[in-house]
């Protein structure tokens, strides 16, 4: 009976070929197409992809290697693309062979923490079971920890998460997300998380110009257009809105465009005089934006970006 010898490891590796065959470029290109701005974020994602490609090549060549710790922290204000980037990261890690499935399970505290004794562990374990082989995205992760409430069960969820993050890091990547200052306090209070999270990525707010570009992209995907005057009005809307309370970047812009479409539809219905063509049905006019209450509050010159 003959014994088949193990194939010898390759002597060289073509990283560019590995890059193309794994489809890394496809994911990164799609990230560029779907997300405006965020240059520092995209740079970190590309650097992470390069690290994983090299580690995979080292493993194939029989060199000493250790699977990198891939748990991450995404910090930034709402509407800056954290969930979208998490989805792309899951796809990227799957293509490179670091997770089995490549799916994303997005949760908040309510999905993990129970309301009574004995409720938290089953909830947390059920979510972890769904996320295995992929990425678990925990938004506003700092709400898991409530030291002011002695009867809070968040600490139980934290202990289960920490154990899984350490013992099953080859089969699950955890991304913790939230406001930067609150995440800093969360890590200070939970050093176990800080020691297990290797990648900290900060998501900057969008500029006025980037928000206008995002707006036009959202409308284009829904087959709407802005008239020239409407575009100017929307630019002024963005300038006013971003310095007012509860601004959530792209999320607030999406809500504003939904309201503009509502006003456009109402305007067309009230003023219709005969058949309407596709252009009329698809064009947002300045009046549809200028009616917003945002213009009732004047932006402060000292805070306008």
- Global pTM? 0.85
Residue 65: per-residue pLDDT: 67
The mean pLDDT value of the chain amounts to 88
How does pLDDT run across 112-130, given as a tens digit for each residue? 998 888 889 999 999 999 9
Ordered by where they begin, the domains of the chain are 15-203 (3.40.50.300), 208-296 (1.10.8.60)
Residue 273: per-residue pLDDT: 77
Residue 215: per-residue pLDDT: 95
Residue 63: per-residue pLDDT: 81
Residues of the chain with pLDDT under 50: 302-305
Residue 186 has a CB neighbour count (10 Å cut-off) of: 22
The two three-digit tokens of residue 286, written as one number:
């300045």
- In this structure, the dihedral spanned by the alpha carbons of residues 157, 158, 161 and 165, taken in order and rounded to 10 degrees, is 180
Residue 20: per-residue pLDDT: 82
Q: Percent of the chain beyond pLDDT 70?
A: 93
Residue 6: per-residue pLDDT: 61
Encode 240-267: b = buried (16+ Cβ within 10 Å), e = exposed: bbbbeeebebbebbeebbeebeebbeee
Instruction: Choose among 84, 63, 56: nearest CA to 9.
Output: 63
Residue 4: per-residue pLDDT: 60
Residue 202: per-residue pLDDT: 95
Residue 190: per-residue pLDDT: 87
Residue 137: per-residue pLDDT: 97
Residue 7: per-residue pLDDT: 66
């Amino acid at each position: 009976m003959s014994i088949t010898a193990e194939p010898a490891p390759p002597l060289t590796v073509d990283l560019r070929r590995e890059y193309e065959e794994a489809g890394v470029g496809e994911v990164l290109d799609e990230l560029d197409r779907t997300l405006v701005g965020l240059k520092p974020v995209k740079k970190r994602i590309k650097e992470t992809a390069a690290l994983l490609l090299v580690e995979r090549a080292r493993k194939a060549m029989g060199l000493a290697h250790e699977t990198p710790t891939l748990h991450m922290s995404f910090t930034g204000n709402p509407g800056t693309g954290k969930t979208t980037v998490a989805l792309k990261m899951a796809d990227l890690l799957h293509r490179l062979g670091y997770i089995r499935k490549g799916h994303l399970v997005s949760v908040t505290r309510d999905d993990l923490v129970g309301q009574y004794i004995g409720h938290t562990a089953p909830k947390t374990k059920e979510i972890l079971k769904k996320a295995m082989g992929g990425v678990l995205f925990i938004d506003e992760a700092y709400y898991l920890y409530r030291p002011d409430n002695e009867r809070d069960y968040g600490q139980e969820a934290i202990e289960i998460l920490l154990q899984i993050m350490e013992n099953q890091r080859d089969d699950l990547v955890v991304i913790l997300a939230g406001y930067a200052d609150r995440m800093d306090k969360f890590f200070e209070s939970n050093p176990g998380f800080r020691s297990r999270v290797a990648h900290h990525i900060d998501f900057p707010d969008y500029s006025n110009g980037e928000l206008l570009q995002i707006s036009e992209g959202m409308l284009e995907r829904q087959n709407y257009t802005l008239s020239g005057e409407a575009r100017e009005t929307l630019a002024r809307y963005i300038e006013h809105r971003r310095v007012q309370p509860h601004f959530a970047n792209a999320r607030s812009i999406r809500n504003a465009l939904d309201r503009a479409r509502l006003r456009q539809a109402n305007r067309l219905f009230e003023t219709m005089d005969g058949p309407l063509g596709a252009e009329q049905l698809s064009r947002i006019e300045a009046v549809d934006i200028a009616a917003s209450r945002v213009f009732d509050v004047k932006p402060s010159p000292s805070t306008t970006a």
